[in-house]
Amino acid sequence: MKFSTTIIALAAVASSAMAVVPVPVKGCQKTVVVKPTDTGCIQFATDNGTTFKNLLKWNEKLRGDCANLDVGHPLCVLGPKKHTKPHPAHPKHPAHPKHPAHPKTRAPREARAPRAARSQGALRQAQLLEQTL
């Protein structure tokens, strides 16, 4: 009888010594210590504003059956910040090159002689032609 009691006591001590304690992940933003009133992972997660899935993701070695939800140990309830890469600046495209005017296009209005001067020049040419004929 004493032998079996001793074996049971040793088994209890050995199992508690080998208990796997959940460890919050590196970069955890917020941890909460498990209280005696916390009885299950789902309720613990809900009470602390997260999900059971996140609780498992953010606490290494936390068992899926929550058998190692131990009073006095911290659990991560807000995971690490996501590292977002800044978008690279978009390269600026060079301005479209100005194409030279087509040789058959007219000169801009300001570069042309006024209309009256052009018509006088045409008259002079006509008069010169008449005189030469």
Tell whether 77 is covered by a domain. Answer: yes
What is the total count of domains within the chain? Answer: 1
Q: 1-29: buried (b, 16+ CB within 10 Å) or exposed (e) per residue?
A: eeeeeeeeeeeeeeeeeeeeebebeeebe
Six token digits for residue 55:
């609780």
pLDDT tens figures, 54-65: 999 999 999 999
> Is pLDDT at 106 greater than 70 in this prediction?
no
- pLDDT for residue 89: 72
* Residue 51, in any domain of the structure: yes
Q: What is the pTM of this model?
A: 0.50
Residue 45 lies in a domain: yes
Rounded Cα gap, residues 92 and 57, in angstroms: 42
In a domain, 16, yes or no: no
Strand pairing category for 74-78 and 23-24: unpaired
Q: Are 22 and 66 in contact (CB under 8 A)?
A: no
In a domain, 55, yes or no: yes
Domain span at 66: 37-81
Whether residue 132 is contained in a domain is answered as no
63 part of a folded domain: yes
Of the pLDDT bands very low, low, confident and very high (cuts 50, 70, 90), residue 26 is: very high
Average pLDDT of the residues of the chain: 76
Q: Among candidates 83, 85, 84, 75, which has minimal Cα distance to 28?
A: 75
Share of the chain above pLDDT 70, in %: 52
pLDDT at position 31 is 96
User: 103 or 33: which carries more pLDDT confidence?
Assistant: 33
